[in-house]
């Protein structure tokens, strides 16, 4: 949100808004209205596009400047223990369940992932399907959980995926890193509505991309 960005960079709102507009024009940043408070807008940096542009610019200057993507399975070499990450959304039926499965799979054991919701519902059939068909992961035995199940546990990172759950997220012991990924809810139709399945595919792809960058951040923090 703009007011959060102004606090982080220490610049006036009109200047921050101006530069956000330029970044949006360049398709480096996108905006989405909050599903909790429609007056707020969440801005998302397209790190994949930025990485591609940086790599292309480097390669154009000299082949030795071509950027190489980080290897997810090498995200935290030498880590003393897995990094505990809790993913939260409202229903714990789709976004957070998919994020949990993807984090465990993509990290190669670096991340110990969990998920929960503020108003748990049954795991969505499309979430099960997209994980099975496109990522080879089985969610069929997963059970939705209330975030109170984890309220006394320690995590290294707590990542909210839903604007509504961000508003009610409790404080967890140990002051974990907190991130908000404002991701639209793909479960907007009936459970068996084939028209909504592409939304689950898009959500899963966005989560996989974001988790890849999370792994790169973990690697950067790892002791050498």
Interhelix angle 125-135/95-107, nearest 10 degrees = 20
169 noted as active-site residue: yes
| Partners of residue 160 on adjacent β-strands | 88, 180
Element (H, E) at 31: strand 29-33
- Catalytic option among 16, 89, 116, 214: 89
Secondary structure (3-state) at 45: strand
Has 3 been annotated as catalytic?
Answer: no
Return the H-helix or E-strand segment holding 104.
Answer: helix 95-107
Widest CA span in the chain: 53
Helix (H, G, I), strand (E, B) or coil at 116: strand
User: What token pair was written down for 150?
Assistant: 């984890």
Q: Is 127 a known active-site residue?
A: no
Catalytic choice (23, 169, 184, 219): 169
Catalytic residue among 102, 162, 208, 214: 162
User: Which residue numbers are catalytic?
Assistant: 89, 162, 169
């Amino acid at each position: 949100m703009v007011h959060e960005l102004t606090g982080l960079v220490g610049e006036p709102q009109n200047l921050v808004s101006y530069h956000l507009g330029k970044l949006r024009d360049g398709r480096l940043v996108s905006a989405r209205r909050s599903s909790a408070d429609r007056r707020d807008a969440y801005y998302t940096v397209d790190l994949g596009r930025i990485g591609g542009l940086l790599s292309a610019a480097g390669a154009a200057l000299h082949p030795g400047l071509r950027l190489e993507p980080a290897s997810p399975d090498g995200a935290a070499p030498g880590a003393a223990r897995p990094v505990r990450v809790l993913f939260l959304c409202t229903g714990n039926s789709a976004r957070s369940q998919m994020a949990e499965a993807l984090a465990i799979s993509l990290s190669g054991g670096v991340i110990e992932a969990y998920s929960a919701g503020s108003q748990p519902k049954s795991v969505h059939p499309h979430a099960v399907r997209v994980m099975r068909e496109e990522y080879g992961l089985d969610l069929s035995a997963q059970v939705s959980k209330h975030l109170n199940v984890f309220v006394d546990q320690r995590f290294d990172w707590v990542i909210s995926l839903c604007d509504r759950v961000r508003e009610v997220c409790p404080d967890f012991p140990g002051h974990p890193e907190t991130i908000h990924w404002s991701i639209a809810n793909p479960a907007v139709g009936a459970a068996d509505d084939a028209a909504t399945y592409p939304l689950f595919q898009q959500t899963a792809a966005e989560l996989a991309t974001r988790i890849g960058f999370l792994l790169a951040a973990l690697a950067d923090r790892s002791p050498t």
